[in-house]
Amino acid sequence: MRLTHTKILTSVSLPFSRFGTHDTLNFLQESFAIMKKEMKRPPIRLGILGGGQLGRMSALAAANLGIKTTIYAPEENSPAFDVTQNHIIADYGDKKALKKFAESVDVVSYEFENIPLETVRYLEKFTQVLPRPALLEVSQHRLKEKQFLNDLGIPTARWAAIMEPQDMNEFHTDHKLYESILKTVRFGYDGKGQARLSKTDDCKRIWKKFKQDIMIAEEVIDFKHEISVIIARDIFGKTAIYDPSRNIHTDHILDVSIVPSGLSEAVLKKARNYTQKIADAVDLVGVLAVEFFVTKDDKVLANEIAPRTHNSGHWTIDACTVSQFENHVRCVCGLPVGSAKRHSNAIMKNLIGDAIYSTDQYLNSRDFVVHNYGKSDAKPGRKMGHVTQIFPLSPLSPKLKSR
């Protein structure tokens, strides 16, 4: 029997286990060995839900590996359509279109964690979706996310579920807090869906404004730094971890990511270990990003997890042997994870809104790489592109001489 990539990926459903499963890994390794023996691996067809910049950069990386990508997105003119031959424009609830999509690819991934869970679960009837939806579900719900992290022994800001205004007062009193942040449990990113409140604020008024059944209150962390760690894990359980970047946000939107971060090795080790722990606990296949706060006394607190490529990892395209996008594609397509080694120091700056129209300064300079996502509508606050300044780590010292 000719074992195709699809059969290998869909014939096993890896459990969402805390310890990983050696049996499953053995099975996958054996299947992969059979596939290798045949030496006739067909071009892999990757499907991506979401057509923004993350899908676009993943599709570009896939193309380099000879992998053909189909993008599924509801928006016409999605930036990822520019770089792929195939795309489907349909709603995330359109079952007919979803089935057609799933049947046209070998594996599906997603580039946006607010993809409806029902969409992903439906696709799973026809094909494998990676990273597995169990982790997506956790990352879509702030309460589940915090509980999941704490259950793994990973510290976070103190938090509480809020079901009525009185809960906010109790949260402040119980933890002797003067201030906290009230957040919606779903669909909040780049500062959306949250409000800062102090002990003296009118909780009833704030509660009414959000019109939610349940929210989360989090302690305000007086952090010294924000960092993030990106890990890629393949079907064999092998991982590659990128150097943590130090991230600076402006108006709640990532502005700049810097590597090396300049933080102590002890701090970075903690962040890397926590990230590894999460990846192994969920038997991750693909890329996962974890954002952390670092406090004045060097505590490392997990803030958010995203089972996808991440804005704070865009520097890896120009400063690493294998970028986060290529590694994501490799892992979900059943290929071995590549090196996360950094060959250059780097600073990545997001080009937000109108900033996309002022790239000549970078194009005229030698150490900058400009990435324009090709979005037509430069709304304020919208991520339109990014620029990476590269500082190569060492000069070339060739051992090979020309004759």
Give the interface with ligand AIR as residue ranges (CB under 6 A). Answer: 50, 52-55, 111-112, 189, 311, 382-383
Q: Which is nearer to ligand AIR, 364 or 376 (CB)?
A: 376
Residue type, 385: G
Q: Closest separation between CB of residue 356 and ligand AIR, Å?
A: 11
Would you call the peptide bond into 131 cis, given omega within 30 degrees of 0 as the criterion?
Answer: yes
Q: How far is the CB of 83 from ligand AIR (least distance, A)?
A: 13
Closer to ligand AIR at the Cβ: 52 or 237?
52
- Output the smallest distance, CB 74 to ligand AIR, in A: 11
Least distance between ligand AIR and beta carbon 252 (Å): 12
Q: Which two tokens stand for residue 31?
A: 């299947």
Residue in 305, 301, 312, 142 with CA at minimum distance from that of residue 222: 301
* Matching residue, tokens 């693909």: 286
Minimum Å distance from CB 90 to ligand AIR?
15
Q: What is the 3-state secondary structure (H, E, C) of the chain?
A: CCCCHHHHHHHCCCCCCCCCCHHHHHHHHHHHHHHHHHCCCCCCEEEEECCCHHHHHHHHHHHHCCCEEEEEECCCCCHHHHHCCEEEECCCCCHHHHHHHHHCCCEEEECCCCCCHHHHHHHCCCCEECCCHHHHHHHCCHHHHHHHHHHCCCCCCCEEEECCHHHHHHHHHHCCCCEEEEEECCCCCCCCCEEEEECCCCHHHHHHHHCCCCEEEEECCCEEEEEEEEEEECCCCCEEECCCEEEEEECCEEEEEEECCCCCHHHHHHHHHHHHHHHHHCCCCEEEEEEEEEECCCCEEEEEEECCCCHHHCCHHHHECCCHHHHHHHHHCCCCCCCCCECEEEEEEEEEHHHHHCCHHHHCCCCEEEEECCCCCCCCCCEEEEEEEEEECCCCCCCCCCC
Minimum separation from the CB atom of position 75 to ligand AIR (A): 7
The smaller minimum CB distance to ligand AIR, of residues 98 and 168, is found at: 98
Residue 14 or 231 with smaller CB distance to ligand AIR: 231
State how far the Cα of 230 lies from the Cα of 227, in Å rounded to an integer.
Answer: 10
Instruction: For ligand AIR, give the closer residue by CB, 68 or 375.
Output: 375
- Select 5 or 308, whichever has its Cβ closest to ligand AIR: 308
Which of residues 9 and 129 has its CB atom nearest to ligand AIR in the complex? 129
Please say which residue, 130 or 197, places its beta carbon nearer to ligand AIR.
130
**Minimum separation from the CB atom of position 379 to ligand AIR (A):** 8
From the CB of 158, what's the least distance to ligand AIR, in Å? Answer: 26
Q: Which is nearer to ligand AIR, 72 or 207 (CB)?
A: 72
- Closer by beta carbon to ligand AIR, 112 or else 223: 112
Cβ of residue 228: shortest distance to ligand AIR, in angstroms?
13
Distance (Å, whole) CA 288 – CA 76:
28
- Give the shortest CB-311-to-ligand AIR separation in angstroms: 6
Residue whose CB is nearest to ligand AIR in the complex, by number: 52
